[in-house]
Amino acid sequence: MSKVYHSLPLDEEKLDDDSTTFASTTRTLSIDSDSERAGFVPRVRHRLAQHWMWLGHAVLLTTSVTLFTLSFCARNAKPNDATYTSAYSSYSPAAVAVRYETTRFTNLTPVVEGPFVGFGPEVDLAWDYIANDIGDTMISEEELDKLGLPRNSLKITHPRTGEVGYRAALEVFHQLHCLNLVRQAVYKDYYKHHGGDVGGADSKEDLMGHVDHCIETLRTNLMCQSDIGIFTFKLFPEYGFADDDYWPDFNTLHTCRNFEAVRSWAVEHTVAWDHNV
């Protein structure tokens, strides 16, 4: 049998060619798409890695600046009175009354005058105000434990509230009492006739024992404080000293606790009034 060939219409040939071309193009696009996809993923990962790297640098920089600022502020900030007192003083319920102030001593010239100098009724009134017109206070058992003091200390009953606690006093007033006693002992010819701790002593031995106790109290506290303030030397021609006679200049700046604030706290918390200390 002989083979018969039929010619295809032109449109069918074109369609067949187009189909072949489309298939080839599709395969090419598929290959290109796979290639692009394969290249795109690493690029995205690289960009993400760069993004996180810069973000990490930014976080570290921000943290460093913040810590530096906080450190600078902490180093240069002035602590408040309560913080300073708590850090550098033993516990005291009166710490809430402490107010620090910078003041210049102005009456420490070679020759001094003032309400606390010498003897006499007016001088005694001035000393009574700072040393004697303040009673003792009362602390709780919890406060006693904070102070590390024994529980067999003297117990008292608060006259207004009826609470039971321990009798206590502030050191500053005992120290001023002691200084006042030494002052009276210096002017004993006057005070042996005018009462006070000197005139009220039962014997010379009792008086000297009290004075020795007070001198030791003041020595202990002065050495404990160890004032590191600086004084210089200058001429005082107004007192008739020689032109080359230099004297210490004690009129210097000091950071002090406001005495009136502490005294007011003590008066407000007074529960007992005798001064046998």
Closest by alpha carbon to 81, among 103, 101, 99, 102?
99
**Cα torsion 102, 106, 108, 113: sign:** negative
Residues of the chain with pLDDT below 50 are 1, 5-6, 8, 10, 12-15, 29, 276-277
Q: What is the pLDDT of residues 121-148, one digit of tens each?
A: 999 999 999 999 999 999 999 999 999 9
Give 19-33 pLDDT, tens digit per residue.
Answer: 555 555 555 545 555
> What pLDDT score does 153 carry?
96
Cβ-based neighbour number of residue 211 at 10 Å: 20
- For residue 41 the two structure tokens come to 């993923």
